[in-house]
Amino acid sequence: MKRPTEQIYSNYTTEDFAVWKTLYNRQMEILQPSVSSSYLDALDKVNFRANHIPDFREVDGILNPATGWGMQVVPNICPQKEFFQFLSAKKFTATCWLRTMAQLDYLEEPDMFHDVFGHVPLLSNAAYCEFFRGLSNIALEFIDNPTAIDLLSCVYWFTIEFGMLRERGEVKIYGAGIISSHSETLNCLD
């Protein structure tokens, strides 16, 4: 299936809006007690809501003044070098297509809900952005060294994607792979 390389908001279907709303509401019901307050604060900053698929231009209008970051539409997962080049330029790569209702609980590749709901709010947090960009700059310095890239991929995986942190003495969810997944959110603290 050919994936879009630009967000054309008028192309979203009734099902797309229903999928976003369903996923958003389902996650918000279970995230409150488990997710970092940094994420909840960031979610408020980017003004995400259940009845509105985020418009990347609107999101860029919030992120850019806050941290200098923006979004770059990609059709699917970027090759590592391209991904790190975008991050180094303060551009987060995100898909703009949504899974179907039949795929609510599992998808082999990241869709817009994972990319945008999971990652983008924290791009309004300066410390998070600094870590993200620093990681990408190190990766670009060692991009031709597979061992170094494998090690940095582990750092990325266990922080940005599946990170947990201690906040006021409690373990909280911080990684986008958990934040955007119903089952991961329910199971990660057990």
Reported pTM = 0.94
- Whose structure tokens read 């999928």? 19
pLDDT, one tens digit per residue, over 101-151 is 999 988 888 899 999 999 999 999 999 999 999 999 999 999 999 999 999
Region 148-168 average pLDDT = 94
81 assigned to some structural domain: yes
Nearest C-alpha neighbor of 124 from the set 65, 187, 49, 183: 65
Work out the pLDDT band at 5, boundaries 50, 70, 90: confident
Distances (CA, A) of 23 to 47, 73, 160, 165: 16, 21, 20, 24
pLDDT at residue 2 in the model: 74
Return d(Cα 148, Cα 11) in angstroms, integer.
Answer: 41
CATH number at residue 154: 1.10.800.10
Structure-block tokens of residue 109: 């590749």
pLDDT at residue 158 in the model: 94
Work out the pLDDT band at 86, boundaries 50, 70, 90: very high
Return d(Cα 19, Cα 36) in angstroms, integer.
Answer: 24
Q: Can you count the helices (H) and strands (E) in the chain? A: 9, 4
96 assigned to some structural domain: yes
Number of domains in the chain: 1
1 assigned to some structural domain: no
Counting other chains too, the contacts that 70-79 makes at CB distance below 8 Å and 24 or more residues apart are 71/116, 71/120, 73/4, 73/5, 73/6, 73/7, 74/5, 75/2, 75/3, 75/4, 75/5, 76/3, 76/109, 77/109, 77/110
2 assigned to some structural domain: no
Region 29-51 average pLDDT = 96
- Are 162 and 172 a contacting pair, CB within 8 Å? no
pLDDT at residue 106 in the model: 82
74 assigned to some structural domain: yes
The parent domain of residue 64 ranges over: 9-188
Work out the pLDDT band at 189, boundaries 50, 70, 90: confident
Lowest mean pLDDT among 28-32, 37-41, 78-82, 160-164: 78-82
Strand stretches in the chain, DSSP E: 70-73, 91-94, 164-167, 170-173
pLDDT, one tens digit per residue, over 9-19 is 999 999 999 99
